[in-house]
């Protein structure tokens, strides 16, 4: 699988509809705060990055049937969330790799490739190497300091964070006995949205806010697929105007998730 991780080096060099005002009575503050924690303990007024350009996905695994199943599920999840997707031949800007010795291979890439680019991957990898063993997710950020720029009919917010490359690398041994749907749903959320690392997962999810992100920290009690909250988070992130605060995104997600759960 070493050849598949080489895509990370390439990613390192690569280059909506406004939501209605929230009804405070339908927003659960506990769910909002939980969402902010899941996104990486983001401040309420912080910004949540998202994939800037249409997703072109590469899934690499020794088990080709698994790779195909995961790819199909991730693309379907992305389209349901309102993420633009490229199909067929395209230059990958997103990668999911299931590989032996994920830590060793990522360390080798860090030392032999990524340092040449001054990539933000380096800081993310160094932080994850301290605690993570089963899964790694990181994004290559871009900042729009030279705006204003018009993107998809909307004027950009100066300094709005976006990503133009994202990767999820999972240790092969950690996937043994794991249903491909659970694996794909976990990878979808980590690939397309800011998420916290497994070792830092908050405990005791409030009602209506369980998450597939617990898959590698508590597999036995993790849900069998993305939850209503997981899907609401992605839908809100990609539907709300660029520059929306993290609290606004999570409030919108809370409203959607609780409404969907009550159906």
Q: What's the mean pLDDT in 136-165?
A: 61
Residue 195 has pLDDT above 50, yes or no: yes
Residue 178: the pLDDT is: 93
Residue 174 has pLDDT above 80, yes or no: yes
Residue 67 has pLDDT above 70, yes or no: yes
Tokens 């993310």, located at residue: 124
| Range of lowest pLDDT (41-45, 133-137, 234-238) | 133-137
Query: Sign of torsion, CA 17 87 212 203?
Result: negative
| Residue 39: how many other CB atoms lie within 10 Å | 20
Q: Which stretch, 85-99, 100-114, 197-211, has highest mean pLDDT? A: 85-99
What is the maximum span of the chain, computed from C-alpha positions, in angstroms? 53
Q: What is the mean pLDDT of the chain?
A: 82
Residue 189: the pLDDT is: 97
Query: Between these two residues, 179 and 114, which has the higher pLDDT value?
Result: 179
Residue 171: pLDDT band (50, 70, 90) is very high
Q: What's the mean pLDDT in 198-225?
A: 90
Phi and psi, residue 223, nearest 5°:
-65, 165
User: How far apart are the C-alpha atoms of 68 and 186, rounded to whole Å?
Assistant: 16
Residue 91: the pLDDT is: 92
Work out how many domains the chain is built from and give that number. Answer: 1
From 230, 224, 225, 238, select the one nearest 254 (Cα to Cα): 230
> pTM higher than 0.75 for the full model?
yes
What is the extent of the structural domain holding 26?
2-261
User: How far apart are the C-alpha atoms of 258 and 255, rounded to whole Å?
Assistant: 5
């Amino acid at each position: 699988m070493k050849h598949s991780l080489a895509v990370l080096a390439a990613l390192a060099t690569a280059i909506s509809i406004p939501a209605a005002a929230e009804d405070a009575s339908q927003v659960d503050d506990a769910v909002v705060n939980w969402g902010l924690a899941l996104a990486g303990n983001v401040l309420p007024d912080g910004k949540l990055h998202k994939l800037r350009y249409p997703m072109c996905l590469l899934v690499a695994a020794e088990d080709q049937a698994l790779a195909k199943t995961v790819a199909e599920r991730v693309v379907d999840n992305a389209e349901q969330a309102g993420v633009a997707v490229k199909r067929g031949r395209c230059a990958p800007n997103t990668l999911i790799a299931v590989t032996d010795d994920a830590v060793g291979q990522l360390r080798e890439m860090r030392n032999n490739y990524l340092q040449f680019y001054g990539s933000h991957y380096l800081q993310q990898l160094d932080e994850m190497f301290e605690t993570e063993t089963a899964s790694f997710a990181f994004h290559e950020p871009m900042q729009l300091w030279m705006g204003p720029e018009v993107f998809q009919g909307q004027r950009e917010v100066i300094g709005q964070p976006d990503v133009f490359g994202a990767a999820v690398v999972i240790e092969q041994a950690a996937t043994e006995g794991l249903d491909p749907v659970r694996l794909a749903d976990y990878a979808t959320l980590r690939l397309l949205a800011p998420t916290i690392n497994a070792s830092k997962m908050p405990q005791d999810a409030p009602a209506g806010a369980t998450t597939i992100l617990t898959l590698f920290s508590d597999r036995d009690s993790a849900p069998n697929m993305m939850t209503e909250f997981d899907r609401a988070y992605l839908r809100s992130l990609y539907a709300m105007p660029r520059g929306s605060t993290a609290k606004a995104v999570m409030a919108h997600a809370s409203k959607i998730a609780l409404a969907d759960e009550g159906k």
